[in-house]
Amino acid sequence: MSTDNRMLTMAEALREAMGIAMDERPEVFILGEDIGIYGGAFGVTGDLYHRFSPERVIDTPISELGIVGAAVGAALSGMRPIVEIQFSDFTAQAMDQIANQAAKIHFMLGGALHVPLVLRTPQGSGTGAAAQHSQNLETWFANVPGLKVVVPSNPADAKGLLLSAIDDPNPVIFLEHKLLYKIPGRDPVPEGAIRIPLGVSKVVREGKDLTLVATGIMVNKSFEVAEKLAAEGISITLIDPRTISPLDMNPIFESVEKTGRLLVVQEGPSHGGFINEVIARVSESSSFGSLIAPIKRLAGMNIPIPYAPQLEKAAVPQIEDIEVAARELVKSWR
Amino acid sequence: MSFRYPVVMPKMSMTMETGELIDYHVKVGDRVSSGDVLFEVMTDKIDMEVESPADGVVEQLIGEVGATVDIGKPVLILLTDTEVMAFDFGGEPAQLPPAPAIVEALPVIEAVVAVPQISVPEVTAPVAVAPVIVSHTYKAVPKARVAAAETGIDLRTIVPTGPDRTIMYSDVINRHPTEEQLKRQAANRALIARGIEMTQNIPQASFTRSVTVSDSGLPHLMSAWARVLRSRPELNVSGKDGSLNPQVGVATIIESKYGSALPVYKDPDLLDMKTLSELVSTTSTAARHGKVPLAMLSGATTTVFDLRSYQMTSTTPRLFPHQVTALTIGESSGGAIAVSLTIDLRYCDFYDGAGALDLLVKTL
């Protein structure tokens, strides 16, 4: 298979990254619920159980606190665990291990120890799984110093970023949108162990009228909007931060200085959302003086995700919402 | 030409809003000279004597002794013959038509700045005096604020066309001059044209030299030219009657949104270069915003046009009334500047002119 047309899904790309890392380093292993024989609730680990061994792809009991606690201990003793939590909503069960142990041990022991742990977990709405299985929780983790937070939007990035996350000596929370698992990306996934550094924003496309910053699945939706509005003569720069902690603002500043307009989109609720950090940093920067329009944000409603499909859809930004907001910003502000 | 100048209640401190008129030192009909005390003012911080900005006759006493007067409001009207080629535009609160009716029910008209305010001389066009305030509380996008600050535009005079009556960037960069600004521009042009017309039939001669100078800044050139005139008093006479001018007054031309302003620097060669440079810088900025102190609007004995920002090489400068010399500074090749001099042949001859230009080049 040639590199040019490897159009993998995100699940396949993530599996490939884990396989590469396990081939590279014997200390890499995976643990989680139903990830072994079953291949993962969303099929991400797939055949890794059979390719490697039950010792390296470990099915665990239903105890998130126990899983993460075991992984933290393993990481402290030289292993590189990859934890899969079946739904990001369940990280609440493991939060003490994540926020109080994994994130802080390195600092509280004066840098003597590292916690090279990756916690992969699916998030997001759109599957009819209701309020306890549909949240976007990136801001929980971004608000804990000591954690890195990755939100990939496509298979190629997911593979490269996961390889870097596994290399990283710090705990990394890797948040995958469920709806992206089965979709091939726009770009082929490079073969081999190609890494994408954490903390580097990606300019997905360039335009001169509007800077659109989006994460996760909102990157795909925003891309569609940008392509559509290009036909109307509205040209959009789309930026995917990819890691929201650390956050690479430079391409955003540069673009805002060029376009003078900023639209920020996330699926999670607006209150206390990650996008507010982007807006705050632009407001604090010298790029602020380049703004020719008020900054606009689109985010989920401040409600638990509803079960009814129509309401579930209405609770988070859709393509049409992004399209209206983008057009309005460019048309109304000159 | 006689002009009516309102002498206003001056702003003497940052917090001052009104002053009490203690007493007049003059009465109607009195002839006064520039610098004579006209009236006395008291504020909570300071007592001050307000001096006449020009020679003239007291035409009217407006303020009542003992009354409290808002800053910028006229206290006394001075009738003056002072030769003024362009005027201060700061304006007093004037009876202007309301702002364009795009914004409803907003308070209209108030002077933007209350510092020295002089009304416009009465020339052909009726001239209104204050920029029209569209709204005191305005909303503007950041880039509009930056653009306004950079170009000296008062955002309160911009009609907002953005959502929620917000001033957009395009409102600032595409703003149209207001009707009142256009009137002032026209009046100003008419004034300058009339001045040039008056000297039209005077026999004149012009000379041009290209010269390389180490410091080609306007303050340096102005100072050098003033030194030349001081050493050649025959070139610093009044074009009215040939009498010697007591001082060298160098007028410069500054473009403003109201047309050309002509601030006059008196004896610039007697100031040290740092002081003169600062004075030129602050005066130019003020003039671009349409504000020149009255004291700097009279007393010109020569005029210097700096054409370099327009990449001009030279033009034949025209004499202004009662001046016997005019100078232009233009661009020249290889970093040199082109200096052109026009003289009034009734008071000096070709040799005087050529000699003066040569001396200027040597001085530079």
For residue B359, what is the domain's CATH number?
Answer: 3.30.559.10
Report the distance separating Cα B333 and Cα A326, nearest Å.
51
- Strand ranges in chain B using DSSP code E only, listed in sequence order: 3-8, 18-24, 31-32, 37-42, 47-51, 56-61, 68-70, 74-80, 139-140, 166-167, 204-211, 249-252, 254-256, 259-261, 264-266, 302-306, 325-331, 337-344
- Across the interface, of B143, B145, B162, the residue whose CB is closest to A260 is B143
Q: Are residues B209 and B77 in the same domain?
A: no
Q: How far apart are the CA of A257 and the nearest CA of chain B, in angstroms? A: 10
Put simply, the answer to whether A291 touches B163 (Cβ < 8 Å) is: no
Query: Contact B294/B116 with Cβ under 8 angstroms?
Result: yes
pTM of the model: 0.61
Judging contacts by C-beta atoms under 8 Å, the chain A residues touching residue B142 are 288-292
Q: Which of B150, B167, B169 to mutate to test the interface with A (most CBs of A within 10 A)?
A: B169
Cis link prior to A81 (omega < 30° from 0)? no
Residues in chain A: 334
Interchain CB contacts (distance < 8 Å): A and B: 33
The type of residue at A249 is M
Q: What are the chain A neighbours of B144 within 8 Å (beta carbons)?
A: 292
Query: In Å, how far is B50's CA from the nearest CA of chain A?
Result: 42
CB–CB contact B145 A294 (8 Å): no
Contacts of B309 (CB under 8 A, 6+ apart): none
Q: Chain B interface, mutation test: which of A258, A292, A329, A332, most B Cβ atoms within 10 Å?
A: A292
Q: How confident is the model at residue A294 (pLDDT cuts 50, 70, 90)?
A: very high
Q: Which is nearest to B161 in space by CA: A331, A299, A284, A184?
A: A331
A210 close to A265: Cβ distance less than 8 angstroms? no
Count CB atoms within 10 A of the CB of residue A308: 11
Measured between CA atoms, the residue of chain B closest to residue A282 is: B142
Alpha-carbon distance of A56 to A25, in angstroms, equals 11
| Contacts for B222 with CB less than 8 Å, ≥ 6 apart | B250, B252, B265, B268, B276, B280, B304
Polymer length in residues for chain B: 364
Residue of chain A minimizing CA distance to B164: A332
Chain B interface includes A286 (CB < 8 A) = no
d(C-alpha A317, C-alpha A218), whole Å: 8
**B157 in a structural domain:** no
Which residues of chain A neighbour B163 with C-beta distances below 8 Å? 332-333
Residues B354, B229 share a domain? yes
More confident residue, A185 or B191: A185
Q: How many angstroms separate the CA atoms of A241 and A203, rounded?
A: 8
Rounded CA-CA distance A172/A78 in Å is 16
Angle (CA) A168-A170-A172 rounded to 5° is: 80
C-beta atoms of B168 and A333 within 8 A:
yes
Q: Of B82, B110, B126, which residue is a domain's last? A: B82
Interface test with A, best of B143, B145, B150, B171 (most A CBs within 10 A): B143
| A289 → closest Cβ in B146, B162, B163 | B146
Cβ partners under 8 Å of residue A12, min gap 6: A46, A155, A189
The 8-class DSSP code of residue A155 comes to: H
Buried b (16+ CB within 10 A) or exposed e, B94-107: bebeebeeeeeebe
pLDDT at B78: 86
What residues does B328 pair with on adjacent strands?
B305, B340
User: A-chain residues within 8 Å CB-CB of B145?
Assistant: 289
Cβ-based neighbours of B92, under 8 Å, separated by 6 or more: B6, B8, B72, B73, B74, B111, B117, B119, B129, B130
Measure CB to CB from residue A332 to each of B142, B145, B163 and give the nearest one: B163
B169–A260 C-beta distance less than 8 A:
yes
The per-residue pLDDT for A283 is: 96
**Residue B15 belongs to a domain with what CATH number?**
2.40.50.100
Is the CATH code 3.50.50.60 the one for domain A202-332? no
pLDDT per residue over A94-109, tens digit each? 999 999 999 999 999 9
Does the interface predicted TM-score (ipTM) exceed 0.90?
no
Residue of A nearest to B172 (CA): A334
Residues B353 and B227 in one domain: yes
Report the pLDDT value the prediction gives residue B94, as an integer from 0 to 100.
34
**Please, what is the end-to-end C-alpha distance for chain A in angstroms?**
49
Transcribe A24-61 into DSSP letters: H-TTEEEEETT-SSS--TTSSSTTHHHHS-TTTEEE--
Q: Are A289 and A283 spatial neighbours (Cβ–Cβ below 8 Å)?
A: no
Catalytic residue status for A277 = no
Cβ–Cβ gap B169/A334 under 8 Å: yes
* Residues of chain B found within 8 Å of residue A293, distances taken between Cβ atoms: 141
C-alpha to C-alpha distances, A301 to A92, A298, A304, A326, B83, nearest whole angstrom: 21, 9, 8, 19, 70
Q: Is position B100 within any domain? A: no
Question: Quick check: A293 contacting B, CB < 8 Å?
Answer: yes
Catalytic residue status for A133: yes
Is A333 part of the contact surface with chain B (CB cutoff 8 Å)?
Answer: yes
Quick check: is B333 in a domain?
yes
Q: Are A184 and A215 in contact (CB under 8 A)?
A: no
Q: How far are the Cα atoms of B278, B281, B284 from residue B274, in angstroms, in the given order?
A: 6, 11, 15
Identity of the residue numbered A106: H
Domain A3-180 in CATH 3.40.50.970? The answer is yes
- Cβ of A111: how many Cβ atoms within 10 Å? 8
Looking at the fold, whether B203 and B344 belong to one and the same domain comes out as yes
d(CA B337, CA B314): 9
Which residue range(s) make up the domain with B72? 1-82
Per-residue pLDDT tens digits for A241-292: 999 999 999 999 999 999 999 999 999 999 999 999 999 999 999 999 999 9
Residue of A nearest to B141 (CA): A292
Q: Indicate yes or no: CB of B162 within 8 angstroms of CB of A332.
A: yes
Number of domains in chain B: 2
Q: B103 in a domain, yes or no?
A: no
Contact criterion met (CB below 8 Å) for A122 and A87 = yes
Which candidate in A12, A16, A133, A177 is catalytic? A133
Domain boundary among B51, B66, B82: B82
- Report chain B residues whose CB lies below 8 A from the CB of A294: 141, 166
Would you state the pLDDT for residue A80? 98
CB contact under 8 A, B141 and A332: no
Chain B interface, Cβ < 8 Å to A: 141-146, 162-163, 166, 168-170
List chain B pLDDT tens, one digit each, 364 residues: 567 778 888 877 667 788 889 899 999 999 998 888 999 988 777 788 888 878 889 998 988 898 888 888 889 888 887 655 444 444 433 333 333 333 333 333 333 333 333 333 433 333 333 456 667 778 899 999 998 888 778 888 888 888 888 999 988 888 766 666 677 777 777 777 777 777 878 888 888 888 888 888 889 999 999 999 999 888 898 888 888 888 899 988 877 766 777 888 989 999 888 889 888 888 887 777 667 777 787 788 999 988 887 777 767 778 888 889 999 888 877 778 889 999 998 888 888 888 999 999 888 8
One-letter amino acid at B144 equals: A
The two structure tokens encoding residue A325: 């907001």
State the smallest CA–CA distance between residue B177 and chain A in angstroms: 19
Whether A292 and B145 lie within 8 Å, measured CB to CB: no
Chain B residues whose beta carbon lies within 8 Å of the beta carbon of residue A333: 141, 162-163, 168-169
Please name which of B23, B7, B16 lies closest in space to residue B73, comparing C-alpha atoms.
B7
Residue A288 touches partner B, C-beta closer than 8 Å: yes
Q: Give yes or no for a contact between A67 and A94, defined as CB atoms under 8 angstroms apart.
A: yes
At residue A213, does pLDDT exceed 90?
Answer: yes
In a domain, B91, yes or no: no
* Per-residue pLDDT at B122: 37
Domain boundaries, chain A: 3-180, 202-332
A294 contacts B169? CB cut-off 8 A: no
Tokens 């939007």 map to which residue?
A153
Residue B175 in any domain: the answer is no
pLDDT in tens, A56-95: 999 999 999 999 999 999 999 999 999 999 999 999 999 9
Buried b (16+ CB within 10 A) or exposed e, B140-149: bbbbbbbbbe
A254 torsion bin: left (phi>0), alpha (psi -120 to 50), beta (else): alpha
Domain boundary among B58, B82, B106: B82
Shortest distance, CA A221 to any CA of chain B (angstroms): 27
CB contact at 8 A, B356 and B235: yes
Q: Are the beta carbons of B125 and B301 closer than 8 angstroms?
A: no
Rounded to whole angstroms, the Cα distance separating B323 from B224 reads 18
Kindly state whether residue B190 falls inside one of the protein's structural domains: no
